[in-house]
Structure 1
Amino acid sequence: MSFLACRVFEKTESEKTESEKTSPKVQKTTIYHQLVQMETDELTAGDVLIRVDYSSINYKDALAASGRGKIMKQFPLNAGIDLAGVIVESDNDAYQAGDKVLVNGCGIGEQYDGGLAQYARVKSDWVIKIPEAYDTRQAMIIGTAGFTAALAIHRMQVNDQKPEMGPIVVTGASGGVGSIAVNLLSKLGYEVIALTSRKSMHDYLFELGANKVVSEDKLGMSDKPLGKALFGGAIDNIGGKTLSNIIAHTQLWGNVASIGLAQSPNLEAKVFPFILRGVSLLGISSTNCPMPLRTKLWHQFGKELPLPDFEAIVSKEIALEDVSPYFDELIDKKHHGRLIVNCQ
Structure 2
Amino acid sequence: MFKAVMIEKSADGTQSVAIRDVPEDQLPEGDVTVRVEYSTLNYKDALAITGRGPIVRSFPMIPGVDFAGVVENSQHPDFAPGARVILNGWGVGEKHWGGLAQKARMSGDWLVPVPAQLTTRQAMEIGTAGYTAMLCVQALQREDVTPDKGPVLVTGAAGGVGSVAIMLLSRLGYHVVAVTGRPEEEAYLTGLGASEIRARQDFSTPGKPLDKARWAGAVDVAGGVILANVCASMAYGGVVTACGLASDMSFPSTVAPFILRGVTLVGIDSVMCPKHRRLAAWAGLAELIDAAKLAAMTSDITLDDAIEAAASLLDGKIRGRVVVRMP
State the TM-score, normalizing by the size of structure 2. 0.96
Task: Give the letter for the 2:213 counterpart.
Answer: A
User: In 2, are the aligned partners of 1:105 and 1:287 still within 8 Å (CA)?
Assistant: yes
Q: Give the Cα separation in 1 of the matches to 2:6 and 2:302.
A: 15
Deviation at 1:93, TM superposition (A): 2.9
Q: Deviations over 1:249-297 (max 9, x none)?
A: 1011111011111221111111111111110001111011011211221
Structural mapping, 1:68-147, within 5 Å: 68-147=52-131
1:173 aligns to 2:165 (yes or no): no
Alpha-carbon spacing, 1:240–1:220, altered in 2? closer, same or farther (3 Å): closer
Match of 1:328 in 2: 311
Match of 1:56 in 2: 40
User: In 2, are the aligned partners of 1:30 and 1:67 still within 8 Å (CA)?
Assistant: no
3-state SS of paired residue (1:76): coil
Match of 1:22 in 2: none
Alpha-carbon spacing, 1:45–1:160, altered in 2? closer, same or farther (3 Å): same
Match of 2:240 in 1: 256
Match of 1:11 in 2: 10
Decide which of 295, 299, 302 is 1:311's aligned counterpart. 295
3-state SS of paired residue (2:307): coil
Task: Give the letter for the 2:11 counterpart.
Answer: T
Residue identity over aligned pairs, in percent, reads: 42
Q: Give the Cα separation in 2 of the matches to 1:217 and 1:223.
A: 11
Q: Deviations over 1:183-221 (max 9, x none)?
A: 111111111111111122111101101001120345799
Deviation at 1:74, TM superposition (A): 0.6
Task: Give the letter for the 2:317 counterpart.
Answer: K
Decide which of 183, 200, 215 is 2:184's aligned counterpart. 200
Query: Greater share of helix residues, 1 or 2?
Result: 2
Match of 1:232 in 2: 216
Which structure has the greater CA radius of gyration?
1
3-state SS of paired residue (1:302): helix
Task: Give the letter for the 1:277 counterpart.
Answer: R
Alpha-carbon RMSD across the aligned residues, in angstroms, is 1.6
Alpha-carbon spacing, 1:326–1:220, altered in 2? closer, same or farther (3 Å): closer
3-state SS of paired residue (1:133): coil
Deviation at 1:94, TM superposition (A): 2.1
Q: Deviations over 1:214-257 (max 9, x none)?
A: 20345799822112111112111111111111101101111101
Decide which of 203, 213, 231 is 1:247's aligned counterpart. 231
Q: Give the Cα separation in 1 of the matches to 2:204 and 2:115.
A: 43
User: In 1, are the aligned partners of 2:228 and 2:253 still within 8 Å (CA)?
Assistant: yes
Q: Give the Cα separation in 2 of the matches to 1:115 and 1:217.
A: 35
Alpha-carbon spacing, 1:250–1:7, altered in 2? closer, same or farther (3 Å): same
Match of 1:20 in 2: none
1:276 aligns to 2:276 (yes or no): no
Q: Give the Cα separation in 1 of the matches to 2:204 and 2:251.
A: 20
State the TM-score, normalizing by the size of structure 1. 0.91
User: In 2, are the aligned partners of 1:221 and 1:227 still within 8 Å (CA)?
Assistant: no
User: In 2, are the aligned partners of 1:301 and 1:307 still within 8 Å (CA)?
Assistant: no
Structure 1 unaligned regions, length at least 5: 14-28
Answer with 240-249 or 141-150: which moved more: 240-249
1:339 aligns to 2:319 (yes or no): no
Deviation at 1:12, TM superposition (A): 3.1
Structure 2 unaligned regions, length at least 5: none
